[in-house]
Amino acid sequence: MSLTYEVRTYGCQMNVHDSERISGLLETAGYLSAQQQGLEPDLVVFNTCAVRENADNKLYGNLGMMLTQKEANPNMQIAVGGCLAQKDQDLIQQKAPWVDVVFGTHNMGSLPTLLERAKHNAKAEIEILESLEVFPSTLPTKRDSAYAGWVSISVGCNNTCTFCIVPSLRGKEKDRRPGEILSEVQALVDDGALEVTLLGQNVNTYGVEFGDKQAFSKLLRACGQIEGLERVRFTSPHPAAFTDDVIAAMAETPNVMPQLHMPLQSGSDKVLKDMRRSYRSEKYLGILDRVRQAMPDASISTDIIVGFPGETEEDFQATLDVVRKSRFTIAYTFQYSKRPGTPAADMPDQIPKEVVQERYERLLEVVNQVAWDENSKQIGKEVEVLVANGEGRKDSQTHRMSGRAKDNRLVHFDIPEGEPAPRPGDVVTVTVTDAKPYFLVADAAQGSGYSVRRTRGGDAHDRRELESCGAPTPGSTKVSLGLPIRVASAL
């Protein structure tokens, strides 16, 4: 009888990408998704993050709760991978000796073998490699979405930001060849994907390994030649290496979306220097100006850290000034916390928690007001929304569905009476009737209008739903009483 598994993911988009590979590996090895089977998992894999605040406390707390299940079912296995596993290694076994396998960021492909070895030897297996074994994107994958996919163009990072532990855990930047990337994108499109997000710790230094400083802009333009690929996004660039050829490629390639995630971290030049962020606020704002000159409707999001060691009230005010000038539609805000192994953890002038909290609250007020002002400019505009599966219905009262506009704004929309409901992966056209700091609303009762375009992405979602419940998929053949029955291709 097949074993079942569950993957629990913490952290960034790269971890989400890695978890899809872990799921693909396990299913290739014969495991079944516990969620899809409606069963308790025989294997739980924690794919961890070492960057976010209290990442280790969250992991060990969850591992503690797993002990009861492990005692009730000694055959159950627990594996811990990802950045925290790469960092803590033996510490995980010391704190949670009931964990069966610990594997790092460089050897995900070894997981099925390690699980078998742990079972055979009746002891924990710990395998942490210091360099990449196999590029993650070459591994089997089980995508969370049928109509959208992540494509890793590089792993690792050559920067030395004092608050970040990623370079020591994922290593120096390693780039995939453009042909490999484009082949994976094409395969996703052939499988029904409409949207692809290119992933890297620093996407705009892509090409450093093979000496092409314009490799990333060329890659964006090449994605524009793939028929059926409707939306291309990427994350994350670094302001220090962001060049005008990328802006031109974004503006001139129709399927590259008018959306940019550009991490700021701080608006203070002094703090940026202490962070070893090799740009200053003037350069940062200049990039945004040039992006908006080329793409006036571009939506720009960012990351901001509050309370970095040595941050003064003047430094904090500089951050607020840059936020107001930048007009971010989304800002992911974080309170600085010490990460063991980073230079910032040993810096003097650590900011008291209560000061960090107070500044954080003031930042949120400004960030939310700016976002609300920017979103309000969308009222009355017609937008195309790629209907999302994960975001689904907003709530049981409004029955609104949700999705992302081209500029990545979240849109909640309702379906006029008598109109067809879209599937996840379909595209609806609606008119924005209201705006909030974090989303837009298209209310048919207020005359938003509504039309739906059925897409290959919606077809792919339907096929996956049929497969998950064991039903035959369109175009497939099943046998009933010895006679082949062709399944209709029209859904």
Q: What's the 3-state SS for the chain?
A: CCCEEEEEECCCHHHHHHHHHHHHHHHHCCCEEHHHHCCCCCEEEEEECCCCCCHHHHHHHHHHHHHHHHHHCCCCEEEEEEHHHHHHCHHHHHHCCCCCEEECCCCHHHHHHHHHHHHHHCCCEEECCCCCCCCHHHCCCCCCCCCEEEEECEECCCCCCCCCCHHHHHCCCEECCHHHHHHHHHHHHHCCCCEEEEECCCHHHCCCCCCCCCHHHHHHHHHCCCCCCCEEEEECCCHHHCCHHHHHHHHHCCCECCEEECCCECCCHHHHHHHCCCCCHHHHHHHHHHHHHHCCCCEEEEEEEECCCCCCHHHHHHHHHHHHHHCCCEEEEEECCCCCCCHHHHCCCCCCHHHHHHHHHHHHHHHHHHHHHHHHCCCCCEEEEEECCCCCECCCCCCCEEEEECCCCEEEECCCCCCCCCCCCCEEEEECCEECCCCEEECHHHCCCEEEECCHHHHHHHHHHHHHCCCCCCCCEEEECCEEEECCCCC
- Average pLDDT on 56-65 reads 86
* pLDDT tens track for 121-146: 889 988 887 766 666 667 777 888 89
Kindly report the average pLDDT of the chain as a whole number: 88
Instruction: Name the pTM for this structure.
Output: 0.82
Distance from C-alpha of 29 to C-alpha of 248, rounded to nearest angstrom: 44
Q: What is the identity of the amino acid at 191?
A: D
pLDDT of residue 29 exceeding 70: yes
In this prediction, residues 355-383 reach a mean pLDDT of 98
Reported as a single tens digit per residue, the pLDDT across 257-307 is 999 999 999 999 999 999 999 999 999 999 999 999 999 999 999 999 999
Band of pLDDT at residue 469, cut at 50, 70 and 90: low
Quote the longest CA-to-CA distance of the chain.
79
**How many whole angstroms separate alpha carbon 454 and alpha carbon 461?**
11
Task: Work out the average pLDDT over 242-251.
Answer: 97
Q: Average pLDDT of 470-483?
A: 39
Domains of the chain: 4-127 (3.40.50.12160), 140-376 (3.80.30.20), 382-454 (2.40.50)
Query: How does pLDDT run across 210-238, given as a tens digit for each residue?
Result: 999 999 999 999 999 999 999 999 999 99
Range in 89-93, 197-201, 301-305, 418-422 with the lowest mean pLDDT: 89-93
pLDDT at 132: 67
Q: In the prediction, which pLDDT does 37 show?
A: 80
CA-to-CA separations, 202 to 175, 207, 304, in angstroms, rounded: 11, 11, 17
pLDDT at 489: 30
Task: Report, as an integer, the average pLDDT of 165-175.
Answer: 79
- Pick the range with the lowest mean pLDDT from 3-12, 304-313, 407-416, 428-437: 3-12
Check residue 484 and give its pLDDT.
30
Q: Which residue has the tokens 């409901």?
A: 421
What percent of the chain has a predicted confidence (pLDDT) above 90? 62
Kindly tell me if the per-residue pLDDT of 479 is higher than 70. no
- Return d(Cα 401, Cα 412) in angstroms, integer: 6
